[in-house]
Each structure stands twice: as C-alpha cells, then as structure tokens.
Structure 1
Amino acid sequence: MRLSMVVEWSKGSPFRYAWKEGRLALVAVDQPAPVNYGLIPGLINPADGEELDAVYLGPPLPPGTQVEGEVVGMVWLADGDHKLLLEAEGQKPGPGEVQGLLAWFHPSRNPRLLGPGEARNWVSGLLRG
C-alpha cells in the first residue's frame, strides 16, 4: 500500500509547521524531530478528528514536501493517535531511527511498533469509513 504525505516537520529541525488549507504555517519551535513528520491529506484519524499523522523514514525533507511511500508499519499509541510509517521503495530506515521515534513519545502513551500488515489493515478500515 502506497500513500502520499505532506512533511510538516523535517527530520533534525526544531521548526514545526502545520499544513492547513494547502499552506504551511509555523506553529512552534521545539526539540528537533527524529524523523520527517507530517500528515496524509484527506485521511481522518477518528481518535482526534484530524488528518492522519505520518512519518517518512529516511533523510531530511523540507517542510511542504509531498512525498509518496510504502506503508511499512505504524506507531500504535494508547490514545489512538497512531502514526503511519512510510518509506521509499528499497530504502531502509537508518540505525536507531525507529527506536528514536518510539522514544520521542511520552511513556504514558505506551508507544509500540506494529508491522506493515497491521498498519495496512488499520488504514483499510479508515478508507472504508
């Protein structure tokens, strides 16, 4: 399963943007992101009513970049605000990239890594709506 996402927060950058109505707006300066973080336009997460959060594994991408990737997993969170993991075909995450991502979330959210099959099934359920 391939999906397209928009990067809102570049790997290694403290500048966090939000994608609203087709435009980026700076919303915070925070600790640097361990991954390229963004959203899947048009796909709503029922846990928060917002567009589904996604992560693009690999080298830093500028904010506003629209990139397509293969669904390779999901960070499951206890509050239901799960994060899809995407990567370019044939590109594997760098050493510690996924572990750094899991450590980024507060332990109370009980982050767990789920595999590609579980992630695809969850997304398929959202698409059927």
Structure 2
Amino acid sequence: MRLRMVVEWSKGSPFRYAWKEGHLALVAVDQPAPVNYGLIPGLINPADGEEVDAVFLGPPLFPGTEVEGEVMGMVWLADGDHKILLEAQGQGPSPREAQELLAWFHRSRKPLVLGPQEARDWLEKLLRG
C-alpha cells in the first residue's frame, strides 16, 4: 500500500509547521525532529479529528514537500493518535531509527512500532469509514 504525505517538520529541524488548506504556517520551534513528520491529506483519524499523522523515513525533506511511500508500519499510541510509517525503499525503520522514534513520544502514550500488516489493517478501517 502506497500513500502520499505532506512534510510539516523536517528531520533534524527545530522548526515545526502546520499544513492547513494547502499552506504551511510556522507553529513552534521545538527540539529537532528525528524523522520527517507530517500528515496524510484527507484521511481523518477519529482519535483527534485531524488528518492522520505520518512519518517518512530517510534523509531530510523540506517542509511542504509531498512525498509518496510504501506503508512500512505504524507507531501505535495508547491515545489512538497513531503515526503511519512510510518509506521509499521498503525496508522499514532500522533498530536505531525505531528507538529514536519511540523515544520522541512520552512514555505515558505507550508507543510501540507495529508492522506493515497492522498499519494496513488500521488504514483500511479508516478508509471504509
């Protein structure tokens, strides 16, 4: 399964943007992101009523970049605000990338990296409505 995402926060950058109605707006200066972070346009997560969050593994991408990747898994969070993992190469996160990504989320959210099948199953439920 391939999906398209918009990068809002570039890997290694402290500048966090939000994508709203086709435009980027700077919303915060934070600790540098360990991954390219953004959203899947038009696909709503019922846990927060916002577009599904996504991570693109690989080198830094500029904010506003639209990129397509293979679903490689997801970061499952106890609050339901799961993050889809995408990658161009189709290898999934390295153990180091997975550790950095999990450490980015507060432990109270109980983050877990799940595989491609769990991610696809969750996405298919969202797509069916």
TM normalised by structure 2 equals 0.96
| CA displacement at 1:95 relative to structure 2 | 5.7
Other structure's SS at 1:34 match? coil
Find the counterpart in structure 2 of residue 16 from structure 1.
16
Find the counterpart in structure 1 of residue 117 from structure 2.
117
Measured on the aligned residues, the alpha-carbon RMSD in Å equals 1.1
Find the counterpart in structure 2 of residue 62 from structure 1.
62
Other structure's SS at 1:113 match? strand
Write the distance in 2 (CA, Å) between the matches of 1:117 and 1:58: 21
| CA displacement at 1:39 relative to structure 2 | 0.1
Other structure's SS at 1:96 match? helix
Please list every run of 5 or more consecutive structure 1 residues that lacks an aligned counterpart in the other structure.
none
Residues 32 and 93 from structure 1, CA distance in 2 versus in 1: closer, same or farther, beyond 3 angstroms?
A: same
Find the counterpart in structure 1 of residue 28 from structure 2.
28
1:25-104 counterparts in 2 under 5 A? 25-90=25-90, 93=93, 96-104=96-104
Identity between Structure 1 and Structure 2 (%): 82
Write the distance in 1 (CA, Å) between the matches of 2:86 and 2:65: 14
**Amino acid of the structure 1 residue aligned with 2:44:** I
Q: Number of aligned pairs?
A: 129
Please list every run of 5 or more consecutive structure 2 residues that lacks an aligned counterpart in the other structure.
none
